Every structure is written in structure tokens, then in C-alpha cells.
Amino acid sequence: MGAITAATGHFPAKIKALACDVFGTVVDWRGSIIAEGEALGRARSLAIDWARFADAWRAGYEPAMALVRSGSLTWTNLDGLHRTILDRLLVEFGLGGLDEQDKEHLNRVWHRLRPWPDSIAGLTRLRTRYVVATLSNGHVALLVNLTRSAGLTWDCILSAELCRHYKPDREVYQMAAQLLGLAPREVLMVAAHPNDLVAAHGAGLATAYVRRPLEFGPNRAAERDPAAVDIIAADLVDLAAQLGA
């Protein structure tokens, strides 16, 4: 736990700001959806495997973004993408009878995801020394609502929405550095997902991998740490410790 592994061999000494992925890295989307789904199931007498439902919802996310990326679909924010996937899943899981209010409330569970146990303490510590921003595919309104609901803390909310490109498109990482008024190498991308870090590195940012072994549930085999990142952290408090915050 807490092992420092500067896999690229150069600790990023000039870091001034952190750009943090949110879904999976800071908040536990799967556990939160299961918990809200089970509460809804009890209220509406529905017998659904909510873990399977959460996984299916998340599985629809990459293909939905790919439609935007390819230009097949005009810019659509995550509420829109999530709702399209949800409407299909509701039929597949036999939930088509939910009323519109329930559907819309369920769709906005992504605005109410719970933080991992270390997230608030870690972000609070990191902010004492660094500018800490989101850099998420969530839109600004979602991130604002999520931040208030989960009690998170940031210096600013940066979102894929601001450049209308979804990560891992290069434009998102470039935008973050530009809006923060920094050179890319002064910005540390923080994420639990290697593909996000590979793309950030490609845009010139420093990279920190945060292990979230439970993101996809307890039955998923632990992923190996990625090789080409600047920092590997056990969680956000460990990241703060490694960064001297």
C-alpha cells in the first residue's frame, strides 16, 4: 500500500495543477447505482440484479461516446447518452413500466454518485498545494451537482463539454492545460484508467494512476499497474502524500 512507483523514472517536479478524472477515480459509480437501484426496487417491488444493470449501463458508455466521436451523433452530454442507454436497458431488464419521473430520477443517479472513502480527504489535502480541477466526460451541470451531493472540493470544474470532445480525444487534455494557463507538463492527469493516462501523456501531461480495484466490482480480477505513468498511488490520500501535500 502506498508504494511509490515512478515508472517512467522521472518524478514530475514541476506539477502545478491536477486534472482529475471523476467516474471511478473519485466516485464509485457501480456501488452507487446498485444502492439506488436496490432502493428503487424495494419501493416499486422490482426483482432486478442491479449489479448486472450497473455494469450494462456502464458498458453502453464507450459505444455511445464513439457515436459522438465519429460524428454519427451531434454533441450530446452524458445525461443524453445515459438516457439513451437506460431506455434500452429498461426494456431488457423488464422495467419498461416505470413512470417518466422514476426514469428521469434514475438517469440522474450519475449526479449523485458517492465518493470513495479517501476522496474528500485526498482532494482537500491536494488543494492545499496544487490547483485541483476535474477533467471529466461529465458535463458541467452534472459535475456541479455531483460535487455538492458528494461533498467534493475543487478549484474549478473542467469538462469535456467545454470543448465538445470526449476523452480520450487529445483536445480535452490540451484544453485543460490551456484553461489553467499552464504548460501541459505542469498538469498532472489523475485517473484510475490507463487509456485516459495514455492519452494525457500523448498530449504532454504528467500522469498519475490511482488504483481502484473495486471500480468494476469485487469479482473482477485486479488489473496490473500500467507501465508508463509518472506516479502510481493506492488512493487519493496516498497521492497527496507522494506529492508532498
C-beta closer to its own copies: residue 16 or 211: 16
Window 40-99: residues binding its own copies (CB under 8 A): 79
- Name which position in 34, 86, 182, 190 contacts its own copies (CB under 8 A): 182
DSSP secondary-structure letter at 23? B
Shortest CB 181 distance to its own copies, Å: 3
Window 132-171: residues binding its own copies (CB under 8 A): 133, 139-144, 147-148, 155-157, 161-162
- Name which position in 179, 198, 214, 241 contacts its own copies (CB under 8 A): 179
Is position 220 an interface residue for its own copies (rule: CB under 8 A)? no
DSSP H/E element including 41 = helix 29-44
State the residue for C-alpha cell 489523475.
190
Residues 190-229, buried b or exposed e (16+ Cβ, 10 A)? bbbbbebbbbbbebebbbbbbbbeebbeeeeeeeeeeeeb
In whole angstroms, what separates CA 145 from the centre of its chain? 14
Cell of 225: 499497474
Under rule CB under 8 A, how many of the chain's residues touch its own copies? Answer: 20
**Residues found near its own copies in the complex (CB under 8 A):** 79, 131, 133, 139-144, 147-148, 155-157, 161-162, 179-182
